[in-house]
Structures are given as C-alpha cells and as structure tokens.
C-alpha cells in the first residue's frame, strides 16, 4: 500500500518531532564560516562548524569533500586521547562517523548504512563496537558519567530514528515495520517519552486496521504520539475514501491544545498542520484545510524550511489560493565557493591536534 502522505501531501515522511536541520546549504555554510573564520573557542564550536559544513557540502553535491571533512574530525578526536578532552572529543568523533553513515543512506547505499546504524546498538548497550571508520571502546570515556550517558543515548536515538528513515526511503516497508516493532519492545519507556518514530511507522506505511489512538490521554509525549498516529489514520482513511476519514480529521483538529509545548524542531508543528490540512481538503473541509496550510506556509517561511514551503506552496496554488511567489533559490555557486573555503579552513584547524581551549 502506498503511504497516504504520498498522495495527500508529498513523499511519505515521519511526523515525529526530531532535530531537523531546516537551513539551506548557503545558510549552513555561512554559519560554519562564522565559527571557523575567527577560530572556534571550544571543541563544541569546532565540531559544530564541521558538522554544519559537512551537511552543506552534501547538499551542494560535494560529497567527497564532506566525507573527507568527517574523516578529519574522527582523526582529530583520536588525536586528543590522553588529554583532558579525551572523553568529549570521542563523542564528537562518534557523531562524525554517524554523519559518514548518513551519507551512505542519502546516496542509496542502504545496506551499508543499515549495517553501520546496526552497530550503534552495541554502543547503546555500553559495549565496544566496530564502525566503518571508527573502533569504539567505551573505556575511552573513562569515569565521565555524563559522556557515557550522552554516547549511549545518542547511539540509541540515531539507531532508531535513522534506521526507520533509511528503511522508509528504501521502500522496504516490511523491514521497517519489523524493526520498528523490535525497537518499541526494546525501549518502550523511551518510545513513550518521545522517541516516537518506531511507534509511528506502522501508522505511516499501512494505517488500515491499526488501533484507534486517543490523543487526550497520558503525558504530553504520549498525547503527541497518539496525535501523529491519528493524523496518519485520517490520511489513510481519506485515501481509501473511508467514511471515517472526516470524523478522524475533525477529531485530530480538536486536539491542538493537547499537543502544544516545546519542540526539538520548529519544523514539526507546521508539518502536522500541513498533514492535517491536506487531509481536510480530501474530506471536503476545504476552508479549514486551506487555513491549516496557510499556517504551515507562514511557519515554513519564518524558519527557512524550504522543503515544506515548496510542498505547501504547491498545494495552495493548486487550489487557486493566491500566495507569495516562491523566493528565488540561493546562488549555489557562491555557496559552493564559501563551503569549500570554509572546509579548507576547518581542515587546517583539525590538523593542529590540539583542542581550541588550549590553542
């Protein structure tokens, strides 16, 4: 069955809240350059600049440069072993390794990416692991309890979220459903507390016959999970012309006050609005559907969410709604020049084999 979002809104995607990077490649390069040009004052700043730039390079088609930068981060982290910054640097090196695996996923090397993500389960368990370009031993974190916890939580979250996304992107819905069920059974408390992707997955790829969620019950994370499950159920039933679609959509529309609060990404709430708005259009609630889509478009414009802005803009235009013209795309050539220059600057900083705090 085709995921409902593919028909009503766009390519199917998870609605669960996570740390989406909304900036376009030019803005990412500018943010990295602003840190790199004067020189980072901390390890956190140095690795932040490198990670932002690696993403910009991937989006600009400079994948080899992005991979080279990630490998430089890993080497730099390794060079700080035996220093007071050893534990902190090791976790940043792990993040760089994850970014290399993500490149595999984005470029369609799904099997390689899934193998890399799977190894993270050992790190989540506090065990040694052998990743494609990094041998991980928790002993490198010493007695730093905070870094031990950070590494394990980070590894678990990446394993769960990125595996779900990679399997969805690959179209292997059977494998996605199976892995999602395993994660829910393995980490039930974390799923209820906000790691929603595996509990969302079955409703996203095949909502028919799923249990009816009740967004008005439980903690805020539990209410949000039920809400996004209901959004998928409503979209799926609308796609199948099920008479229950309108009732589900209207029930979801009465739940906004139950799911408000702080989000990891400013792109989450407008995606919910866009999803429900598209369903409202499909069930004949045109005025309310367009209202929700306008709200989603305004938020996407405010936060620089180009992907959502384009999708919602097209949806509104198709219904004859006058909306501002899409802003012109940024100058990719200028962004590429800035990104390459910043990559060279960061390569120099990473080759020094000393922490910014000591430099």
3-state secondary structure 130-192: EECCEEECHHHHCCCHHHHHHHHHHHHHHHHHHHHHHHHHHCCHHHHHHHHHHHHHHCHHHHH
* Whole-number Å distance between alpha carbons of 198 and 165: 10
Largest CA distance in the chain: 67
Tens-binned pLDDT, residue by residue, of the chain (359 aa):
334 443 444 567 999 999 999 889 999 999 999 999 888 889 999 999 999 999 999 999 999 999 999 999 999 999 999 999 999 999 999 999 999 999 999 999 999 999 999 999 999 999 999 999 999 999 999 999 999 999 999 999 999 999 999 999 999 999 999 999 999 999 999 999 999 999 999 999 999 889 999 999 999 999 999 999 999 999 999 999 999 999 999 999 999 999 999 999 999 999 999 999 999 999 999 999 999 999 999 999 999 898 899 999 989 998 888 888 766 666 889 999 999 999 999 999 999 866 675 54
CB atoms < 10 A from the CB of 149, how many?
12
The token duo for 270 is 């407008």
Which tokens in the block code for residue 293?
A: 């889509």
Q: Which residue has the tokens 């490649």?
A: 25
What letter does residue 230 receive in the DSSP assignment?
Answer: H
Q: Residue 11: what pLDDT?
A: 60
Query: What was the pLDDT predicted at 110?
Result: 96
Q: How far apart are CA 341 and CA 359, in angstroms?
A: 22
* Neighbouring residues of 141: CB distance < 8 A, sequence distance ≥ 6: 86, 87, 90, 91, 147, 148, 151
173 burial via Cβ count (<10 Å: 0-12, 13-18, 19+)? buried
pTM of the model as a whole: 0.93
pLDDT at position 355 is: 65
Decide: helix, strand or coil at residue 129.
strand
Q: What is the pLDDT of residue 6?
A: 38
């Amino acid at each position: 069955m085709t995921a409902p979002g593919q028909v009503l809104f766009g390519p199917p995607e998870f609605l669960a809240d996570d740390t989406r990077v909304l900036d376009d490649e030019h803005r990412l390069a500018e943010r990295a350059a602003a840190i790199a040009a004067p020189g980072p004052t901390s390890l956190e700043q140095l690795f932040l600049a490198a990670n932002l730039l690696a993403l910009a390079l991937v989006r600009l088609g400079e994948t080899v440069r992005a991979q080279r930068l990630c490998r430089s981060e890993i080497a730099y982290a390794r060079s700080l072993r035996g220093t007071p910054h050893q534990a902190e640097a090791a976790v940043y090196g792990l993040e760089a390794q994850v970014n290399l695996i993500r490149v595999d996923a984005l470029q369609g090397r799904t099997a390689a990416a899934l193998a890399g993500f799977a190894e993270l389960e050992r790190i989540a368990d506090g065990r040694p692991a052998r990743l494609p370009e990094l041998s991980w031993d928790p002993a490198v974190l010493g007695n730093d309890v905070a870094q031990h916890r950070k590494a394990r939580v980070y590894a678990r979250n990446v394993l769960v979220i990125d595996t779900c996304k990679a399997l969805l992107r690959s179209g292997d819905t059977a494998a996605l459903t199976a892995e999602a069920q395993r994660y829910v059974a393995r980490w039930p408390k974390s799923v209820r507390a906000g790691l929603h992707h595996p509990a969302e997955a079955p409703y996203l790829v095949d909502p028919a016959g799923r249990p009816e969620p009740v967004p008005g019950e439980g903690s805020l994370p539990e209410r949000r999970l039920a809400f996004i499950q209901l959004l998928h159920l409503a979209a799926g039933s609308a796609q199948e012309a099920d008479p229950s679609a309108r009732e589900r959509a209207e029930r979801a529309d009465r739940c906004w006050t139950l799911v408000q609060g702080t989000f990891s990404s400013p792109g989450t709430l407008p995606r919910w609005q866009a999803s429900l708005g598209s369903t409202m259009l499909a069930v004949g609630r045109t005025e309310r559907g367009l209202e929700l889509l306008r709200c989603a478009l305004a938020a996407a414009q405010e936060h620089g969410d180009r992907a959502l802005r384009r999708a919602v803009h097209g949806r509104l235009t198709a219904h004859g709604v006058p909306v501002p013209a899409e802003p012109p795309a940024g100058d990719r050539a200028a962004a590429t020049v800035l990104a390459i220059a910043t990559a060279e600057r960061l390569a120099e900083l990473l080759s020094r084999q000393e922490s910014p705090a000591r430099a």
